[in-house]
Structure 1
Amino acid sequence: MNAISPGQLSDWLQHHTDANAPEALPVVLDVREPWELQTASVKPEGFELVAMPMRSVPARVAELDRDRPIACLCHHGARSAQVVQFLEGQGFTHVVNIHGGIHAWSAERDPGVPVY
């Protein structure tokens, strides 16, 4: 499984953004629960933010585009790692885990994101 830190996200986005299809931005798939999204959320800058709680991913996997790069995000990185493994098992090939989750996001990328 591939993983990146929140601090590496900008480079990952740049590498995975198709200049010929700017409408098809990479996806940050936030697999946290709705109450967690209300507590702390990220601003979609250079990516499309999709909220899909981990437990709903198997039933909603058809909503995800297999051709778009996906970076999975949770609180600390454990749930998102499980989702990456699931998606890879479903044939997704451009999927990474954001190691450290939104907690690390606050430290490395946007200190305005609350820590919980």
Structure 2
Amino acid sequence: MNEITVAELKKWKDEGKEFQLIDVREPFEYEMSNIEGENIPLASVLLEADKISKDIPVVMQCRSGARSAAALNQLQNLGYTNLYNLKGGILAWAAEIEPGMKVY
């Protein structure tokens, strides 16, 4: 499984790199804090796979990295080869990039 650190993701954002960020947490979690990804909860990932690009890098993100890893595995079974799991999830983002972010 390919992983990306929050520092690498921040660099991608700062550089304007083309990628898609998918947040697989539940909507109430996303509303509390997010890093501007598209919210597709884990339970809906396979149903909404058509919204997930196969042409550019896709970063899967959740609270700590476990649910996004599960989503990544599900999508790899559909033939996706462009996926990255955000190591440590939004907890790592809040700790390393945005310390004032509200997390739970």
Note whether the superposition's TM-score is higher than 0.5.
yes
Other-structure match for 1:66: 54
The TM-score with structure 2 as length reference comes to 0.88
What is the percent sequence identity of the aligned residues? Answer: 36
Cα distance in 1 for residues equivalent to 2:72 and 2:19: 15
CA contact (8 A) 1:70 1:96 kept: yes
Which runs of no fewer than 5 residues in structure 1 stay unpaired? 18-24
SS in 2 for 1:68: coil
Cα-Cα RMSD: 1.9
Cα distance in 2 for residues equivalent to 1:107 and 1:14: 18
Which runs of no fewer than 5 residues in structure 2 stay unpaired? none
Other-structure match for 1:20: none
Other-structure match for 1:7: 7
Cα distance in 1 for residues equivalent to 2:10 and 2:89: 15
Cα distance in 2 for residues equivalent to 1:101 and 1:95: 15
Structure 1 residues 58 and 102: alpha-carbon distance in aligned structure 2, compared to 1, 3 A threshold = same
The TM-score with structure 1 as length reference comes to 0.80
CA contact (8 A) 2:23 2:60 kept: yes
**2:43 corresponds to 1:27:** no
Structure 1 residues 14 and 41: alpha-carbon distance in aligned structure 2, compared to 1, 3 A threshold = closer
